[in-house]
A and B are shown apart, each in its own frame.
Chain A
Amino acid sequence: MIAPKYTNLLELHAMRKAYPGCLANDDIDLDLRAGEIHALLGENGAGKSTLVKMIYGLLKPDAGEIIFEGKAVNITSPAMARGLGIAMVFQHFSLFDSLTVTQNIALGIGQKHDLDGLSEQINAISQRYGLPLDPQRHVYSLSVGERQRIEIIRCLLQQPKLMVMDEPTSVLTPQEVEKLFVTLQRLCDEGLSILYISHKLDEIKAICHRATVLRDGKRVACVEVADESPKTMAALMMGEELKTSSKRVKPKLGPVRLQLDALNMHAPDELGMALKDISLRVHGGEIVGIAGVAGNGQDELLQAINGERLCSSAPMVQIDGQDAGQMSVSQRRVIGLSSVPEKRLGHGAVPSMSLLDNTLLTAYERLGLVGKGWIDHQKSRTVTEQIVSEHDVKATGLSAPASSLSGGNLQKYIVGRELQQQPEVLVVSQPTWGVDAGAAQNIREALKALAKKGAAVLVISQDLDELMEITDRIGAICAGSLSSFYATDTVNYEQMGLLMAGAQSGELAAVS
């Protein structure tokens, strides 16, 4: 019996990485014991992803030391990391849509492989760990949860010693999260160490043994999870800036401002989702949330409401009582509907254009920035200045291209641009996805303020925490259909999970 010569499977000493204008990792230490599930905890922008990319050989550290299995290693490529026994499940999956599950996994393993034999191995692992997956399916036809399983199975096939998981639950329903945790627990029991990256405190409490907490690129603590409460960990994670969000008071409901009536629309292409019989009313003064796992029709719904795709009949979308289903994007905007799409660069803003020019994109009609076909550059500058100052957008100037802004600042700018037009109805998709904590807080407060002024706000989001915090009513979208809607303070996460998975209201009653 040979006892391992080390207690820590992985040790990081003073890891440092700087980007132009930002020290992403400032001398970070971490030790991960063999056989534990170790959390790497921090807000968006705290430096978690940078750290794990260095562990996986995707980024070269400026300074610092990595010790794996008691030996100092210099990990220069993902292949080398895999060779050492480090596997990684990315937040954004590295998958090839046009290839099959087996082909994807063969590529991930990186050596020539007998594909039939591999399929059998995939079946074996998928049964053993409760990860159902058909090896012959093409990736484009799979759900997000299934895609994540490909990544996990790919990792497991390499029999790793350490598995790094970057925000694995951000795309799953609560029920899927539970199943994942069962799988992780079993893996851990079999001796696999897991580095679990998250900012969700309940999850860490549920599954992790210890947690290293990052804030603003620095390591602030390493704690035994059992000794902490979510509250104490939140304090570590957010530090002094622990802001309490303004309490949502029961809104004064105005008239119905946005109404969807049996909205049906075919899918834009084979990769898209059809909308089925969608009906919904949003009153002035209220915030309504639509939860759902990515790819269930969220983009299609936004485009049907804002006019990027036209409905087959006009009453399917009604804005302030007007039949708008066949109005163009511009017409709908003129009568008061603004929208913020999920994809910021390339959909909500033109990446190569300056903020000045991006202001024109959606604001030129309601704010009168164009007269007789000619642009009023002066006026558009004034408006841009207002957006930037009122919403605290940090940029090198008004001429800075949109692509040069950080995700949080760009989103503050885009939301600010829509708010500047004082919309009667605002539809927002993924308002704070990938946005740093401070900016996310700003944006949520801005949405609440807009509703308070009497506008109808519809928030489409995968972030259930966010919806639970800011909405008055909530429902879910699944496979292009909407669930029933409930007052937000009457539903719990488990019920929401069922709705996101397509449960009917009857099944929901059984839970509550």
Chain B
Amino acid sequence: MLQLIKRPSPSKAMVYLSPVLALLLTLCAGLVLFSLMGVSPMAALKAFFVTPISTTYGLGELWVKATPLILIGVALSLGFRAGVWNIGAEGQLLMGGIFGGAAALFFYEKTGFYILPLILLAGILGGLFWASIVAFLRTQFNANEILTSLMLTYVASLLLSLLVHGPFKDPDGFNFPESRIFSDSALLPILFEGTRMHFGAIIAVLVSLGGWLLLSKSLLGYQIKVMGDAPDAGTHAGFSQKKIIWIALLLSGGAAGLAGVIELTGPIGQILPNISPGYGFAAIIVAYVGRLHPIGALFAGLLLALSYLGGETAQIKLNLPLAVTGVFQGMLLFFILACDVFIHYQIKPRSASIA
């Protein structure tokens, strides 16, 4: 029999090794899964993890998908550190899309450099608005933010559907539930010719760096960490729990809203009933794989982006269902939570005597 022995202090090495180990275990489980589905495991893994990024265009796509994941993942890392469980980032993303999309349609006929920043700002406001409801209910009425933020996600998704079938609908669109295609002034500039990689990628990298500075160097970041680990100690220090809850939710709401409007003004270019394949939920995994660290979230965002791309490639090349992506993402989170046991524990054979 094996037993777990608590380490005197957490292992620094395992903090970094755990995601690697989890990724390897996910790949192994993937091999089994693919064999069960009757496809060649190696071919499937190649289609999943190599083919998508073997071209310049593919690398661009990786950044397109990673951008929203990084943005939200960084913010969720800060929020989870504060012990604030905003798991409704998907809803905040959709609200960012709704607000930003409305702004883009408002400026439809206009041109000018000021348009795009205003649209992005509108998107951020949408996310902030949605997250502030959660923060208000939590700080004012003590309502559990996990449940309220999630319920609001369903509401946001229905609201988007309502708007796309109504006011947002393209007047010349033969009654399809789609908006007009945005004007050029409302679109994010492409960074590299021949790809779809857009300016949002730079924003994502900057947000990640900014998150790191905030968390490691600022008093606010310190307060976030204290409140997450030991709220009573935070109160003793004189930090306000309500303030930290508001900040955590506004940061993630704003980031998710920004991600939503970036999706519209980047790869999509119009408002559709579905503007996100669950980026808001996948970002939870990004945060954990990235060790709740803003720089870690950058790399984890790229990894999760690859899982989306891989799923699409495997669907085209091997006719595998798109749902495989979700399974991979879920397994990755499971494995990383399991591997984290090694941070605090050592595994030893159950011995008869220590002395």
Taking beta carbons and an 8 Å cutoff, which residues of A are in contact with B? Answer: 16, 18, 20-21, 62-63, 306-308, 328-330, 333, 339, 341, 343, 345-353, 357, 360-362, 364, 370, 373-375, 396, 400-401, 404
Supposing A347-B230, A353-B226 touch, asked if A374 and B235 sit within 8 A by C-beta, the answer is no
Q: Is the CB of A362 within 8 A of B354?
A: no
Check if B355 sits within 8 Å of A347, measured CB to CB.
Answer: no
Known: A16-B355, A401-B10, A404-B9. Is A374-B236 also a contact (CB below 8 A)?
A: no
Partner of B219, one of A345, A353, A370, A396: A370
B80 CB to nearest chain A CB (Å): 14
A328 contact set on B, CB distance < 8 A = 238
B353 touches A63 (CB 8 A): yes
Distance of A403 from chain B, by nearest CB (Å): 8
Which B positions have Cβ atoms within 8 angstroms of A?
8-10, 217-220, 222, 225-226, 229-230, 232-233, 235-238, 353-355
Contact of B8 among A308, A339, A361, A404 (CB under 8 A): A404
Contact B238 A375 (CB under 8 A): no
Taking chain B's interface residues, is the majority helix, strand, or loop, or is none over half, making it mixed? Answer: helix
3 nearest A-B pairs in the assembled complex, by CB-CB distance: A329-B238, A62-B355, A330-B238
State A348–B237 Cα separation when bound (angstroms): 8
Q: Are A341 and B355 in contact (CB under 8 A)?
A: no
Query: CB-CB < 8 A to A352: which residues of B?
Result: 10, 229-230
The 26 listed contacts between A and B (C-beta, < 8 Å) are: A62-B354, A62-B355, A308-B236, A329-B237, A330-B238, A346-B233, A347-B232, A350-B229, A350-B230, A351-B230, A352-B10, A352-B230, A353-B225, A353-B229, A357-B222, A362-B236, A362-B238, A370-B219, A373-B218, A373-B219, A374-B219, A375-B217, A375-B219, A375-B222, A401-B9, A401-B10
Given contacts A328-B238, A329-B236, contact A350 B218 (CB under 8 A): no
B213's nearest neighbour on chain A, judged by CB, is: A374
Q: Which residues of A contact B236 (CB under 8 A)?
A: 306, 308, 329, 339, 341, 347-348, 361-362
B9: A residues at CB distance < 8 A? 396, 400-401, 404
User: Which residues does chain B contribute within 8 Å of A353, judged by CB atoms?
Assistant: 225-226, 229
Which residues from chain B contact A21 at a C-beta distance below 8 Å?
8
Whether the Cβ atoms of B218 and A346 lie closer than 8 Å is: no
Point out the residues of chain A lying under 8 angstroms from B229, CB to CB. 350-353
A400 proximity list for chain B (CB < 8 A): 9
**Chain A residues with CB under 8 A of B10:** 352, 401
Complex Cα gap A362–B237 (Å): 5
The residue on B at minimum CB distance from A403 is: B9
Q: A74 vs B116: C-alpha distance in the bound complex, in angstroms?
A: 77
Q: Chain A residue with minimal CB distance to B227?
A: A350
Known A347-B230, A401-B9; further 6 A-B contacts with Cβ < 8 A: A307-B238, A347-B232, A350-B229, A351-B229, A353-B226, A373-B219
Closest to A370 in B: B219
Chain B residue numbers with a CB within 8 Å of A375 are 217-219, 222
Q: Which residues of A contact B220 (CB under 8 A)?
A: 373
* Most A CB within 10 A of own CB, among B8, B10, B218, B236: B236
- Give the nearest-CB partner of B6 in chain A: A20
- Nearest to B12 among chain A residues (CB) is A399
Question: Which of A62, A350, A375 is packed against the most chain B CB atoms within 10 Å?
Answer: A350
Q: With A330-B238, A346-B232, A349-B233 in contact, do A18 and B355 touch (Cβ < 8 Å)?
A: yes
Are B222 and A360 in contact, CB atoms less than 8 angstroms apart? yes
**In the assembly, what is the distance between CA of A20 and CA of B237, in Å?**
33
Contacts of B353 in A (CB 8 A): 62-63
A231 to B10, CA, bound (A): 45
